[in-house]
Chain A
Amino acid sequence: GESVGLHLPTLSVQEGDNSIINCAYSNSASDYFIWYKQESGKGPQFIIDIRSNMDKRQGQRVTVLLNKTVKHLSLQIAATQPGDSAVYFCAEGGYKTDSWGKFQFGAGTQVVVTP
């Protein structure tokens, strides 16, 4: 079936360095691709999304890249800080009639920021 997955289960990053988190997806019909951050004991927190008709979107300290040719999504975090330590999930979905609001999450990457 269709699935969303991640290449790396754990990413260790030195404080101040840039982080890159990767995600592979297989449902080419998805309209949106989203990144969430989940800290321990909390619900996921929206970071940024990108529509399927775009290949790059920037936010505050974050950039999401979408490569539809190879079905790959990445999240770049600039100048990683200790507060960025969390599990990061990609998700995909959209609003087609038979799957309205159906957003499914990938496996997640644990990001650990070291001093």
Chain B
Amino acid sequence: DTEVTQTPKHLVMGMTNKKSLKCEQHMGHRAMYWYKQKAKKPPELMFVYSYEKLSINESVPSRFSPECPNSSLLNLHLHALQPEDSALYLCASSQARNPEAFFGQGTRLTVV
């Protein structure tokens, strides 16, 4: 199984809503990542987890809250988002200290 599964695939939320994005992998990877990608732009790193501990936070606003409850799961909790937060949110995983990352298909988020 070399798959990273992200749910939901599409999400529309209001600026006062609270929602969560989920990411799951069963490859035994101990590094997991959240990226944000706008149309026709490269993915931008948001967070990195290493062995379930947050190792990188790229100065992401607090309305995005990551969580890694176990080695297979990664969540991104969303609260009070702005329309400019609309984007494709990508989750990835890799073996620790291995740059070969596996990406999910992403969650297409629209904030209205």
For the side of the interface on A, what is the size category? Answer: 20 to 34
Contacts of A49 in B (CB 8 A): 99-100
Q: Is the Cβ of A105 less than 8 Å from the Cβ of B44?
A: yes
Q: Is the Cβ of B48 less than 8 Å from the Cβ of A105?
A: no
Picked from A34, A41, A43, the residue with its CB within 8 Å of the CB of B104 is A43
For window 30-61 of chain B, which residues contact chain A by CB distance below 8 Å? 31, 33, 40-45, 48, 50, 55-56, 58
Query: Chain B: how many interface residues by the 8 Å CB criterion?
Result: 26
For window 92-107 of chain A, which residues contact chain B by CB distance below 8 Å? 93, 95, 99-107
Contacts of A42 in B (CB 8 A): 105
For window 59-112 of chain B, which residues contact chain A by CB distance below 8 Å? 90, 92, 94, 97, 99-106
Q: What is the bound-complex CA distance between A73 and B17, given in angstroms?
A: 43
Q: What is the bound-complex CA distance between A93 and B44, given in angstroms?
A: 13
Q: Is the Cβ of A93 less than 8 Å from the Cβ of B99?
A: yes
Known A43-B105, A46-B100: A108·B90 in contact at CB below 8 Å:
no
Picked from B50, B101, B105, the residue with its CB within 8 Å of the CB of A41 is B105
Q: Is the Cβ of A102 less than 8 Å from the Cβ of B106?
A: no
Q: What is the bound-complex CA distance between A95 and B33, given in angstroms?
A: 14
| Other A-B pairs, 7, CB within 8 Å; known A42-B105, A100-B56, A102-B58 | A44-B103, A46-B101, A100-B48, A101-B33, A102-B56, A105-B43, A106-B42
- Tell me the A residues contacting B by CB distance below 8 Å: 32, 34, 41-46, 49, 89, 93, 95, 99-108
When A and B form their complex, which 4 residue pairs have the shortest distance between CB atoms, in order from nearest?
A43-B103, A105-B42, A101-B48, A32-B99
